Chains A and B, each alone.
Chain A
């Protein structure tokens, strides 16, 4: 299930299940979106990206969906594995600068 902690929402799934992590972005002018995975004590690692002229993009075991109408982004992970356990952040950018704005993050806990 999904729960909200003090700062970080947590999604707990069983190994082998599919995971869906959601993100609401803030700026309707953003035109490029990225999902990052961050393991404990490490820097963010790029997973997948999508531009605003698309609504779906697939990678290996991951799919990103973009709904610009409601400013919503989701990351789907198929057949979740213990190695997928990490914090996942969405980030948005666009406009005159290349600054990334990070979402709150979701902790994905995969139960064996």
Chain B
């Protein structure tokens, strides 16, 4: 149990285009989902926290207009990288917390984004 999926697993796009990444909790309801970014050989950096039905809370330095987060249901959150540029190339990882154990985070497999 407690499986989190991400789609797509890898995406290559041209500079200036927008990319949407989906994060799904497959067998539990997630009241809170988190989005992280990870550059090569570095740690995970929290970008934002999203609660179902409300606006996401962004960490300092993360542009909310560039990284649009939608958490429309208890099993799905999406991250849209708008007008992507090469410096946005990174590994994006989501996690989900079940309502029954909010301090627990189950991580997705990550999405590798390459912007050309």
Q: Interface on A for B, CB 8 Å cutoff?
A: 5-8, 32, 36, 41-46, 89, 93, 97-105
Contact = CB atoms under 8 A, between A and B. Distances in A.
Interface in B66-116: 91, 93, 95, 97, 102-103, 105-110, 112
Interface class of chain B by DSSP: strand
A89 B43 contact: yes
A41 B112 contact: yes
Interface class of chain A by DSSP: loop
B32 A98 contact: yes
Given A98-B32, A99-B49, A100-B105, A42 B44 contact: no
A66 to B, nearest CB: 16
A43 B112 CA distance: 11
Contacts, number: 50
B44 A32 contact: no
A104 B43 contact: yes
Contacts of B41: 5-8
21 contacts: A7-B41, A7-B42, A32-B103, A36-B107, A41-B91, A41-B110, A42-B109, A42-B110, A43-B6, A43-B95, A44-B44, A44-B107, A89-B44, A98-B97, A98-B102, A99-B46, A99-B49, A100-B95, A101-B46, A102-B45, A105-B42
Nearest to A32: B103
B59 to A, nearest CB: 9
Contacts of A41: 91, 110, 112
A102 B93 CA distance: 13
